[in-house]
Structure 1
Amino acid sequence: SWRDMAAFTELSDHVMEARVQRGDVYVFWIRKAGNTHS
Protein backbone atom coordinates (compact mmCIF):
# COMPACT_ATOMS: atom_id res chain seq x y z
CA SER A 1 0.00 0.00 0.00
CA TRP A 2 0.93 3.66 -0.20
CA ARG A 3 1.90 3.86 3.50
CA ASP A 4 3.59 0.45 3.56
CA MET A 5 6.07 1.39 0.85
CA ALA A 6 6.85 4.71 2.55
CA ALA A 7 7.48 2.89 5.84
CA PHE A 8 9.62 0.27 4.07
CA THR A 9 11.94 2.88 2.58
CA GLU A 10 12.10 4.87 5.83
CA LEU A 11 13.20 1.74 7.73
CA SER A 12 15.75 0.69 5.10
CA ASP A 13 18.64 2.31 3.28
CA HIS A 14 16.59 2.42 0.07
CA VAL A 15 15.33 5.78 -1.23
CA MET A 16 11.87 6.42 -2.64
CA GLU A 17 12.58 8.70 -5.59
CA ALA A 18 8.94 9.20 -6.53
CA ARG A 19 5.48 7.71 -6.25
CA VAL A 20 2.25 8.27 -8.12
CA GLN A 21 -1.24 6.87 -8.06
CA ARG A 22 -2.82 6.07 -11.41
CA GLY A 23 -6.39 5.12 -10.69
CA ASP A 24 -6.27 1.93 -8.63
CA VAL A 25 -2.56 1.41 -9.35
CA TYR A 26 0.33 2.69 -7.24
CA VAL A 27 3.67 3.22 -8.99
CA PHE A 28 6.86 3.59 -6.94
CA TRP A 29 10.38 4.47 -8.03
CA ILE A 30 12.81 3.18 -5.40
CA ARG A 31 16.57 3.52 -5.53
CA LYS A 32 18.21 0.39 -4.16
CA ALA A 33 20.62 1.02 -1.28
CA GLY A 34 24.23 0.93 -2.36
CA ASN A 35 23.34 1.45 -6.02
CA THR A 36 25.81 3.92 -7.53
CA HIS A 37 24.24 3.84 -11.01
CA SER A 38 21.84 6.62 -12.00
Structure 2
Amino acid sequence: MNDVIVKTITRIIIPFAQVYGIFIILHGHISPGGGFSGGAL
Protein backbone atom coordinates (compact mmCIF):
# COMPACT_ATOMS: atom_id res chain seq x y z
CA MET A 1 0.00 0.00 0.00
CA ASN A 2 1.26 3.41 -0.90
CA ASP A 3 1.81 5.75 2.06
CA VAL A 4 0.88 8.84 0.05
CA ILE A 5 -2.63 7.49 -0.53
CA VAL A 6 -3.11 6.64 3.15
CA LYS A 7 -1.85 10.07 4.29
CA THR A 8 -4.10 11.87 1.81
CA ILE A 9 -7.19 9.90 2.81
CA THR A 10 -6.55 10.42 6.52
CA ARG A 11 -6.06 14.17 6.00
CA ILE A 12 -9.51 14.26 4.41
CA ILE A 13 -11.36 11.95 6.82
CA ILE A 14 -9.97 12.96 10.24
CA PRO A 15 -11.36 16.55 10.28
CA PHE A 16 -14.84 15.26 9.39
CA ALA A 17 -14.62 12.60 12.10
CA GLN A 18 -13.58 15.24 14.65
CA VAL A 19 -16.44 17.57 13.73
CA TYR A 20 -18.88 14.65 13.87
CA GLY A 21 -17.55 13.67 17.30
CA ILE A 22 -17.94 17.21 18.60
CA PHE A 23 -21.50 17.27 17.27
CA ILE A 24 -22.29 14.00 19.06
CA ILE A 25 -20.79 15.29 22.32
CA LEU A 26 -22.74 18.56 22.14
CA HIS A 27 -25.93 16.72 21.19
CA GLY A 28 -25.33 14.12 23.91
CA HIS A 29 -27.04 16.10 26.63
CA ILE A 30 -30.33 15.63 24.75
CA SER A 31 -30.01 11.99 23.74
CA PRO A 32 -29.08 9.15 26.12
CA GLY A 33 -25.50 7.92 25.85
CA GLY A 34 -24.42 10.62 23.41
CA GLY A 35 -21.47 11.81 25.47
CA PHE A 36 -19.96 8.34 25.57
CA SER A 37 -20.42 7.89 21.83
CA GLY A 38 -18.74 11.20 21.09
CA GLY A 39 -15.85 10.41 23.41
CA ALA A 40 -15.37 6.99 21.84
CA LEU A 41 -15.28 8.50 18.37
What is the TM-score with the length of structure 1 in the denominator? 0.32
More strand, by proportion: 1
What is the TM-score with the length of structure 2 in the denominator? 0.31
More helix, by proportion: 2
